[in-house]
Structure 1
Amino acid sequence: MKRFLNLLGIAILSGSLTLGAYKLFLEPEPVKIAEEKPIPQYVSTTPATYTVSNSSKSTANLSADFTTAAEKTVNAVVHVKQYGIQRTPRNLMDFLRNDGVQQKRIRGAGSGVIFTEDGYIVTNNHVIDGATELEVTLNNNKSYKAEVIGTSRQADIAVLKIEADAKLSYIPFGDSNSAKIGEWVLAIGNPFNLTSTVTAGIISAKSRDLDEFDANTQSFIQTDAAINPGNSGGALINTKGELIGINTAITSQTGSYVGYAFAVPSNNVRKIVNDIIEYGDVQKAIIGISGHAVNPRAKENYDITESQGVVIAQVESGSGAEEAGLKEGDLIKGIDGLPIKKFADLSGYVNSKSPNDIINITISRHGNESIIPVKLKKYESYQIKDIGVEVVNPSKDELKRQNLDHGVKINRALTKRMTRYNLEGIIITEIDRVKVKSVADVKKIIESKHPDEDISVTLIDGNGEKREFVFQ
């Protein structure tokens, strides 16, 4: 028994020594696992309102709330239907005589935005162009005949008016200059005749210029909110429910939404509709310069070190730019505190201004920066639709180069047929053998003629020779 106890003691002692040695020399260091902390969630309150779910402290569920903005604005976006009269022949004889039954048919449809409580509506010119009758349907399904108050073909804007029996919901204008890239926006319209459709997206870019909309004269807001055929003329609004653009165009190979859509900025729209209502047409203001983006040649010729801005290539004589002292080679860097990075920035801002407005232009001349106030002057133009051209007042230098003391300049062709002749820059000296000294003279002569009368035009061609054409 004693022998057994001695052996048991030796066994226990040996086991204890073995375990202790293992713990001391062989067992690896234990791995410590720290308590994992949740990644902090950052919640922005602008430009959209966000809500954070209380269901979990470690995961915040963010969602943009557009319901208030949609409720405030959806009733002010209307469905615009364009009707035309079409003759349907009943038999072969009707067909040969171009006769038959008159039928009123929808030729197109789009959207519009009520911007005053008494029924003024803004839409795109292409939505109503060529219509013999217009019908506007509100969100409550009430329909009204609409009158065209005026249009701006170049800006693709039109103003309509309806006579309602009560005050109407309308959308106030916002400041499109304050809109920021990445800001949430809503597009409201009637795509594919689906009335009162709301889509959401962000502002993808600003000051976009598109070739098909006269590059360097237009400046669009680009958005990724879904816009399809029928959205034209509809509202682009911010989360406050303010109108910051009129949806106008999409870039697509299929004709439907692919992620790029464009809107006329609200500051430009507001100026255009106010001019149309007050004057009957758009009072366009100009600085009186031509220019281009910064390039290597301009950097070398004019001592320019910056990579962005608008380089003045020419200053028109008698313009506000000349009177203010702007010169060829000046780099325009800003207007009224807004940065100017390209020509579309400049044209977009100036298009929102009126003649006689004074703007403060920040320029760099030989590396020295200064701010110069410039008074904008009125850009006068007139469209001779029977010929298919638009004329403007030429500068004194343009007349002097051709040894002329009077005339108007062809600014652009209005029809495909006239585009073939490259008439831009040609000086017209007489209409119906009467000297013309200004756009006002042209307007007076054309508007006093009977629609069936021929128009005789005397112009100076590219070789400086006088030529006369008769348009019937």
Structure 2
Amino acid sequence: MSKTVKTAVLTGALCSALTLGTYKILGFDEQKVIIQKADQPVALTSARYAPSTTAPTVAPFDFSYAAETSTPAVVHIRSTITSASAAQGQQQIPDVFRRFFGDDFDVQPQQRGPQQASGSGVIINAEKGYIVTNNHVVEGADQLDVTLNDQRTFPAKLIGTDPETDLAVIQVEAQSLKALKFASSDDVKIGEWVLAVGNPFNLESTVTAGIVSAKGRGIGILSRNNAQNGVSSAVESFIQTDAAVNPGNSGGALVNLNGDLIGINTAIASPTGSYAGYSFAVPSALVQKISTDLIEFGSVQRGMLGVNITTVTGVVAQEQGLKVNQGVLVSDFSANSAAKEAGLEAKDVIVAVDGIGVNNSAELQELISRRRPGDNVEITVDRDGRQRKFNVKLNARSEAAPVVASNRNNANIMEALGADFRNLTKEEKAELGVQGGVKVQTMREGKLRMETSIRPGFVITKVDRQPVTSVEDLNKALQGKSDGVLLEGIYPGSSRTYYYGLGM
């Protein structure tokens, strides 16, 4: 063996010995290394994310439970106006009136065919068939038809309306109805997922999704509409969402992911009349109170604080020298103010009602509108930087005092008319240029709705050409009538005189 070969062999042996020694020193000889054969597949273990212990922060992808729960309780309402909304024409006056007033009685005819509109509603009492919807869905309708989710159709009768919140209650006689359960709108959170359920563009049982964008939102839409219709005030404290709502959705349901009712879809903010990003719903707490009143009394029983208010902003706080930048500033009091009687003062800032925080006028109006006359509320105010609490017993609205239950309980003729009336205020008399009159406040099933096209807001100034200046005058004028009467009056915002014939 040559010297070179011997050297190579010796070097290889030394390297092997060194490698083996290192292997033993490190302990690798205690483990078995198995090489898998090619025909034996390698077992794989799938990796999974550990379950989260916190609430999900992403949008849920399945709204099916809420949709399945809510759609059977949302109905399609079709309203039909068969008579003219303006003055009744000569041919529309019954013969009894022609005999009494003569054929030359001055009325201007107006020809109009039947008009139809549609909207949505929510069943809130399955046993008795009560459905809540928007006032503007049923206003002025001579006929109401309700189509259920299962395609059954029933005629509906009007139970009562409240233009100040744009709510109304109707009723159907049907079996196997499903009602939605009320959830507290006070518990609704900004950013919470919600569904809007209704019948936009006559597309029945449509469900859209979005989030709650804001609460306690006042947009002035009811104030503007009510001013045109002669209603003295409006209550706006909407839940704002970005769920798609379009014409036909009005009166439909806004529900949470449990399928519970948290609001009634009422309006949209849009330059085109169709969905453009934001929609507004009357909160369920207010819906529940108003609908209960309409069912029990036929009209809304509103408790009043008796204050003139302004939402506090940074600018208002600086100008008025206030110590807080949020709340509702009391600027003045009405006559017989419940708040003043309890000890509130001008420049007090209302910051809570019954422990619920108040940031603006809309929120305060909503919280008070949930109460009835005689209810006690705890009002928390900021006065010069210090909080004080007052127990306030709410009064009835003074100008409505002659209206609520007394007329209906004491006079069968007033009950038969199917409406609530009130005297005009001084401001309304001046605005309308009349000495007095009786305003049709709310309407339900009765003679006025069945035999005329009178709308809420109509001011009766004469009965059979004799002036009436108060509810008492109206009651006296109708007593003893056995044939028929002619009602004469005006609508706020119109210069025309309207006439309605009514059989007694």
Report the CA distance between 1:132 and its aligned residue: 1.5
| 1:185 aligned residue | 194
2: CA distance between counterparts of 1:411 and 1:300? 32
Give the counterpart of 1:65 among 62, 65, 75. 62
| 2:334 aligned residue | 316
For residues 363-404 of structure 1, the C-alpha deviation after alignment (integer angstroms, 9 at most, x for no partner) is: 1111111111111111254599xxxxx967xxxxxxxxxxxx
Q: Is the 8 A contact 2:436 2:470 kept in 1?
A: no
2: CA distance between counterparts of 1:210 and 1:110? 21
SS of structure 1 residue aligned to 2:286: helix
User: 1:11-26 to 2 correspondence within 5 Å?
Assistant: none
1: CA distance between counterparts of 2:83 and 2:426? 36
| 2:259 aligned residue | 241
Report the CA distance between 1:226 and its aligned residue: 0.7
Per the normalisation by structure 1, the TM-score is 0.69
2: CA distance between counterparts of 1:273 and 1:348? 14
SS of structure 1 residue aligned to 2:425: strand
SS of structure 2 residue aligned to 1:80: strand
Aligned residues between the structures: 374
| 1:150 aligned residue | 160
User: Cα–Cα, structure 1 residues 237 and 295, in superposed 2: closer, same or farther, change >3 Å?
Assistant: closer
The answer to whether residue 306 in structure 2 is matched with residue 288 in structure 1 is: yes
2: CA distance between counterparts of 1:453 and 1:192? 37
User: Cα–Cα, structure 1 residues 222 and 410, in superposed 2: closer, same or farther, change >3 Å?
Assistant: farther
User: Cα–Cα, structure 1 residues 411 and 111, in superposed 2: closer, same or farther, change >3 Å?
Assistant: farther
SS of structure 1 residue aligned to 2:486: coil
Q: Which has the higher relative contact order, 1 or 2, with Cα contacts under 8 A spaced 6 or more apart? A: 2
| 2:170 aligned residue | 160
| 1:306 aligned residue | 324
For residues 326-381 of structure 1, the C-alpha deviation after alignment (integer angstroms, 9 at most, x for no partner) is: 00011111111211111111111111221111111111111111111111111254
303-312 or 112-121: bigger deviation:
303-312
The answer to whether residue 486 in structure 2 is matched with residue 452 in structure 1 is: yes
Q: Is the 8 A contact 1:315 1:326 kept in 2?
A: no
AA at the equivalent of 2:177: L
User: Cα–Cα, structure 1 residues 411 and 163, in superposed 2: closer, same or farther, change >3 Å?
Assistant: farther
User: Cα–Cα, structure 1 residues 253 and 471, in superposed 2: closer, same or farther, change >3 Å?
Assistant: closer
Give the counterpart of 1:256 among 256, 274, 295. 274
Q: Is the 8 A contact 1:409 1:427 kept in 2?
A: no
1: CA distance between counterparts of 2:305 and 2:368? 8
Per the normalisation by structure 2, the TM-score is 0.65
Give the counterpart of 1:174 among 183, 208, 211. 183
Report the CA distance between 1:410 and its aligned residue: 4.0
1: CA distance between counterparts of 2:110 and 2:384? 71
Q: Is the 8 A contact 1:391 1:412 kept in 2?
A: no
| 2:377 aligned residue | 359
Report the CA distance between 1:181 and its aligned residue: 0.8
Between structures 1 and 2, the one with greater strand share:
1
Q: Is the 8 A contact 2:436 2:461 kept in 1?
A: no
For residues 280-327 of structure 1, the C-alpha deviation after alignment (integer angstroms, 9 at most, x for no partner) is: 111111111011122577546764221111111012342210121000
User: 1:293-442 to 2 correspondence within 5 Å?
Assistant: 293-294=311-312, 299=317, 303-381=321-399, 409-410=425-426, 422=431, 442=470
Q: Is the 8 A contact 1:76 1:170 kept in 2?
A: yes
SS of structure 1 residue aligned to 2:248: coil
| 2:239 aligned residue | 221
Report the CA distance between 1:442 and its aligned residue: 2.4
Give the counterpart of 2:147 among 93, 112, 137. 137
The answer to whether residue 121 in structure 2 is matched with residue 112 in structure 1 is: yes
User: Cα–Cα, structure 1 residues 316 and 68, in superposed 2: closer, same or farther, change >3 Å?
Assistant: same
AA at the equivalent of 1:364: D
Q: Is the 8 A contact 1:81 1:106 kept in 2?
A: no
SS of structure 2 residue aligned to 1:264: strand
Unpaired runs of 5+ residues, structure 1, are 5-37, 51-59, 88-93, 385-389, 393-407, 414-420, 434-440, 457-469
User: Cα–Cα, structure 1 residues 205 and 409, in superposed 2: closer, same or farther, change >3 Å?
Assistant: same
| 2:75 aligned residue | 78
1: CA distance between counterparts of 2:284 and 2:292? 12
AA at the equivalent of 1:153: P
Kindly report the root-mean-square deviation, in angstroms, between the aligned alpha carbons of the 2 structures. 4.1
Between structures 1 and 2, the one with greater helix share:
2
